[in-house]
Structure 1
Amino acid sequence: MDLNPPAFSTFTHDGLSIAYFDEGDPSGDPILLIHGFASSANVNWVYPGWLKTLGDAGYRVIALDNRGHGASGKPHDPGVYHPSAMAGDAAALLDHLGIAEAHVMGYSMGARISTFLTLAHPDRVRSLVLGGLGIGMVTGVGDWDPIADALNAPSLDVVTHERGRMFRAFADQTKSDRKALAACISTSRDLLSAEDMGRIDVPVLIAVGTKDDIAGSAQELAALVPGAEALDIPGRDHMLAVGDRVFKKAVLEFLAKVGHA
């Protein structure tokens, strides 16, 4: 299995076309991957080697392009980007594929969506891996209005906000629909309460880079979730932690320990 993009299929949910891939061993344990803001299934999971890593380990690897991203529909209405709605797309994909239960892994915004999915459909999630989002799931991840402003700016040259420049450059690099992303960032950050996190009743691994200034503490979030494990990804920031070998090794060990979906 290589790092080239796999073939994507589409299905319709909530009036939107949702693109996804379904790769790896068809008889293997299914794992559903949910990518982060301004990313895509390819950028988050194929190019950093996750599809290869999980496929080589015998898993059936499924990933979708979230609404507003990749090859999926890109509405410009902020009202359709709440995490509960995007979690609905993920659940609908499992329905579409006839999968009763899957391991679920999300990164950053995808970790938030994965948590909403787990809370809404606890019977569908065998285990949960949250990457790139720690206690920020509950306390927030700072002021992201400058990122929306950066996405709506006429060009990167006029953006002075550091994090805004980072995400605008990333959006330009991935040739994203910036209006859709600006709509998404305004409503996709709904917080969960400590009580919500305490209701999660599946095995959970929370992994955050030690140089990540966005996610918040993995240990603080893990303390709210019964039995959750926290992992420090050494020397990695928010952008670079996703493909880290320490992260991959820990996820494979966690999944093996959890057992079959």
Structure 2
Amino acid sequence: MPHFSSDGLDLHFVDEGPRDGAPILLVHGFASSIRFNWTDPGWIETLTKAGYRAIAFDHRGHGESAKPTEEAAYRPQRMAEDAFRLLDHLELETSVFFGYSMGARVSAFAAIDRPERVSKLVLGGLGSGLIDGVGDWDPIARALRAPSIDEVKDARGQMFRAFADKTRSNREALAACIAHSRQELTEDQVRSITCPTLIGVGSKDDIAGSAEKLAAIMPNATAFEIANRDHMLAVGDKTFKAAVLQFLET
């Protein structure tokens, strides 16, 4: 498996599709991985068949990457630097950043910190929650640290614990990740993101917040409603794929 080094950590990545294709950097969500966020839902196949170079990495604490358990390791700025170091590793100056959920937050931080390296931005599974927050995630941390899912009573905690168990994740690393990875941005910071942006949120998503509200703040953004999809199912939706391809082509 290909790996690169970032911040003293060994991180796993994939690089698929034509080398002369426009690069799309895929930044997955919390408790997910390349496989569960991008491969299994068909994104890598969709993008490479359309002629794009699909690049994805497992976040620190996730998938096949190193799993620090220090909470400070998971600040969005540090996770965005992982993305830039992967671009450096592949000798790419710029890329489209396509993030889902936590990955969308990390991608937004990337667009603010180094706008010259982000040509376009796709934010999936995260709307106004980027600014307003996405609710109380402390029950999720407790759910991840519980000895058994049978002891978890919080509905959202059960959902993420079940997903972490399904993906065979390091639950202590994920619990540490929650502490800092949900850092919010201000409206002024979001307003400073000027690259073309597509924001896709499921109509039944009770985590992400409003795509329309976020798009109204940003100077060059469009909202897309992923009909009849919740936070977990929106990522692989066919209409979302079509909207992203259309956005990339413009």
TM-score (normalised: structure 1): 0.95
The unaligned stretches of length 5 or more in structure 1 are 1-7
**Whole-angstrom CA distance in 2 between matches of 1:30 and 1:134:** 24
**Aligned partner of 1:75: which letter?**
P
> Which residue of 1 is the match for residue 40 of structure 2?
47
1:223 counterpart SS class: helix
Letter of the 1:74 partner, please give it: K
Q: CA RMSD in A?
A: 0.5
Q: Which residue of 1 aligns with 2:228?
A: 235
C-alpha deviation, 1:227, in angstroms: 2.0
Cα deviation for residue 11 of structure 1 reads: 1.0
Q: Distance in 1 between matches of 2:160 and 2:38?
A: 18
**Percent of aligned pairs sharing the same letter:** 58
Q: Deviations over 1:162-194 (max 9, x none)?
A: 000000000000000000000001111110000
Query: Could you say which residue in structure 2 is the equivalent of 1:175?
Result: 168
Letter in 2 for 1:147: I
> Which whole-Å deviations, capped at 9, do the CAs of 1:10-51 have from their partners, x for residues lacking one?
011101001100001111000000000000011100000000
Asked if residue 68 in structure 1 is aligned to residue 61 in structure 2, the reply is: yes
Distance of 1:224 and 1:88 partners within structure 2? 25
Distance between the aligned counterparts of 1:202 and 1:48, measured in 2? 26
In 2, Cα distance between the equivalents of 1:240 and 1:11?
30
- Secondary structure at 1:58's aligned position in 2? coil
**1:103 is aligned to 2:96:** yes
Structure 2 unpaired stretches of 5+: none
Amino acid at match of 2:178: I
Query: Which letter does structure 1 place at the counterpart of 2:249?
Result: A
Q: Please identify runs of 4+ aligned residues in structure 1 that moved more than 3 A.
A: none
Look up the match of 2:156.
Answer: 163
Whether 2:202 is the aligned partner of 1:209: answer: yes
Q: How many residues align?
A: 250
Which of 169, 181, 199 is the aligned partner of 2:192? 199
1:221 to 188, 203, 214: 214
Matched, 1:59 2:52: yes
